[in-house]
Amino acid sequence: MLRRLKRDVAPELPPRSESVRYVTLDERERAVYDAVHAATRADVVASLGKGGSVLQALEALLRLRQAACHPALVPGQHAASSSKVESLVDALAVASDDGHKALVFSQWTSMLDLIEPALRGAGLAFDRLDGSTRDRASVVERFQSAAGPPVLLVSLKAGGTGLNLTAADHVFLVDPWWNPAVEAQAADRAHRIGQERPVMVYRLVAQGTIEEKILGLQDRKRALFEAALGEASAAAALTREDLLELLA
């Protein structure tokens, strides 16, 4: 089996570095997260242990992951902002002041909706690219121009492939995904031929939440893929054991 690596086919690319930015939930956010966890964990774990459907577990994972990002993503909850959004905006402001452009990825357009007012409040210009964007080319052209906004909000699905966004050298992944290949595709929008500056990729992770476990799961999936040299999708599937560990 032949496998081409980016460093082999594009050795002229500048380096890409990755780091985790840990976020501490405030008391209210922690209370919401713990309530969601308590309401779902026992029933779902018991169901999985008896061979029940994984759909219930996936729904529980979704709610926990959303609670780790922003209380307003949880049904029945309201919040003007979140610790993760505040951390993101602070980092974007510093990057913009230093002359950098940034891509901000989330898998939920509802999360992008919540980030937008925080960016406006901080005086940070931005554009947005998601599944509802009609003229993707004009959004990309505007961001790529020197006079374009310093921030581009992108849905993970819309920005996964086919985009050249080399004006950015900072990438922020707001909500970690258990398939590392999907995140790598997103980061590759900036780290591709035409990029002249080192690229920094930041994962925003809420401490003491399911997101920390997802990071560990990513490492194991990545190792499995490297060992098997198979398709990324083969290393991405969640097993019943994975679900039980994430909900523990």
Q: CATH number of the domain that 172 lies in? A: 3.40.50.300
The low-confidence residues of the chain, meaning pLDDT below 50, are 1-6, 8-9, 228-235
Q: What would the DSSP string read from start to end of 148-172?
A: S-SEEEEETTTTSSS---TT--EEE
In a domain, 221, yes or no: no
In a domain, 185, yes or no: yes
In a domain, 247, yes or no: no
Q: What is the pTM of this model?
A: 0.85
N- to C-terminal Cα separation, the chain = 38
So what's the pLDDT on residue 9?
47
In a domain, 242, yes or no: no
So what's the pLDDT on residue 8?
47
So what's the pLDDT on residue 109?
94
In a domain, 220, yes or no: no
Q: Could you give the number of structural domains in the chain?
A: 1
Domain extent, residue 161, equals: 9-24+81-206
In a domain, 98, yes or no: yes
Let me know: does 116 contact 164? Beta carbons within 8 Å: no
**CA distances, 16 to each of 136, 189, 222, 245 (Å):** 26, 12, 17, 31
In a domain, 174, yes or no: yes
Name the DSSP letter for residue 189: T
Vertex 62: Cα angle to 163 and 84 (nearest 5): 70
In a domain, 70, yes or no: no
